[in-house]
Structures are given as structure tokens and as C-alpha cells.
Amino acid sequence: MQAVSVGILAVALLAGFTSLSHYELGLGYFEEKDYARAKEEFEKALEEGDHVGGACYRLGVIYVTDGDTVEAIKLTVGGKR
């Protein structure tokens, strides 16, 4: 994991996970192409209800990368699940 992601994780652990923590951690994983972990974090951010646009977009990219275009379209058309 890159230093940026480690820093984000440390802050998230100290402050307690929030939707922003999950979103930011998801971004770090996404940039590292660790899509499984990124997907988990973006989904947690969506459960909290914040950062919906960015999380939906990146989840859509992950689904397309995984070949699941149907789920990607659902996110694009319906937004938050």
C-alpha cells in the first residue's frame, strides 16, 4: 500500500471510520488498482450516504473492469443502490 493510503488509513482508524474515511480509503485502493478492497470501501461510503457521485462512478468503473456491465449501468441510471 502506498504511503498516501497508509496515512489515510491511520487517520481513519484514529478518528473512527466515517463515510469520508471509507471513500478516501477506497480512492487509495482504486488508484493502486486493488479493486476488491476499493469496492468494499466505496460500498461502505454509499451505505453512509455521502460521496455518492464519486463512489458510484468508481464502482461503475470497477464493475466494467470486472465485466459486469449490467451492474455498472444500474449505478449509472439509478445512482445509489
pLDDT < 50 regions, the chain: none
pLDDT of residue 35: 95
pLDDT of residue 52: 74
How far, in Å, CA of 42 to CA of 58, rounded? 8
Going by C-alpha positions, the residue among 54, 55, 75, 53 that lies closest to residue 64 is: 75
**Domain at 3-78, CATH from 1.10.3720.10, 1.25.40.10, 3.90.1300.10, 3.90.180.10:** 1.25.40.10
pLDDT of residue 49: 75
How far, in Å, CA of 51 to CA of 16, rounded? 17
Please give the angle made by the CA atoms of 65, 69 and 74, to the nearest 5 degrees: 120
